[in-house]
Amino acid sequence: MQITRLKQRTIMFSYDTFSVCGHHSYVILGESFNYVLDTGCGSKQMQIVKDYLVSLKETKPIIVINSHYHWDHIWGNCAFKDSPIIATTKCQEMSHQYYQEMCQNNAKFIQGDVTETPPTLTFDTSACFKEDGLYLYASRGHTPDGLILYDTKERILHAFDNIGDTLDHPVPDLMDSKEEYLKALEFMEQFDFDILTSGHNDPQTKEFIKQIKTEV
Ligand SMILES: [Zn+2]
């Protein structure tokens, strides 16, 4: 377990879930809200995030964002029952559709409580928290329900699992077509950022998107 400050208001929480790649969730300390990006494998991992916020004396209300429906990104939602949980409409559908199956097939990774807690606020194409300079866009490729988050204030693009899990595997598993994913890469490339974060990979730079494009 490691906690890393990426920039002034962005914190990366890295869990020891997998031996082959990393596993991260993120917190952005906003003006009126704190944002938790992905909730890991259950309430136990999210307790680390909550305790850390307490240690910073951060008591602002929390907004949770789910990057896509996969279990290693949503199981900890149950730790934030009183918070809005934001995702794409498709993520809300798919996380419910596959919840039981994901729990059965990946039971050994469960960390604490994993009671189903679906996203409560959804969007189809884009959404924003203007005062905090945070912009969400639906992004297909890895899954049909994914999103990216662009932080204009810190110039960070949170790509989650829309980029590969390790340096050796820059292209993620694609549930969607290659064409759909290439469009998503073009879209990501147009933003001005110097840190590109992932749900599993170490933080990268914009160069990594170029590398993905050569290998996809
Ligand atoms: Zn993942």
CATH classification at residue 136: 3.60.15.10
Quote the ligand 1 centre to 161 CA distance (angstroms): 6
Quote the ligand 1 centre to 199 CA distance (angstroms): 6
**Confidence tier at 77 by pLDDT (50, 70, 90):** very high
Quote the ligand 1 centre to 114 CA distance (angstroms): 16
Average pLDDT over residues 167-188: 95
Domain span at residue 98? 2-215
State the number of CA atoms in the 13 A half-sphere of 106 facing the CB. Answer: 21
Average pLDDT over residues 59-83: 98
Quote the ligand 1 centre to 68 CA distance (angstroms): 8
Report the amino acid identity of residue 188.
M
Average pLDDT, the chain: 97
Which pLDDT tens digit goes with each residue over 80-90? 999 999 999 99
Write out the residues surrounding ion ligand 1, Cβ under 5 A: 72, 161, 199
**Confidence tier at 76 by pLDDT (50, 70, 90):** very high
Quote the ligand 1 centre to 106 CA distance (angstroms): 12
Number of structural domains the chain divides into: 1
Quote the ligand 1 centre to 87 CA distance (angstroms): 15
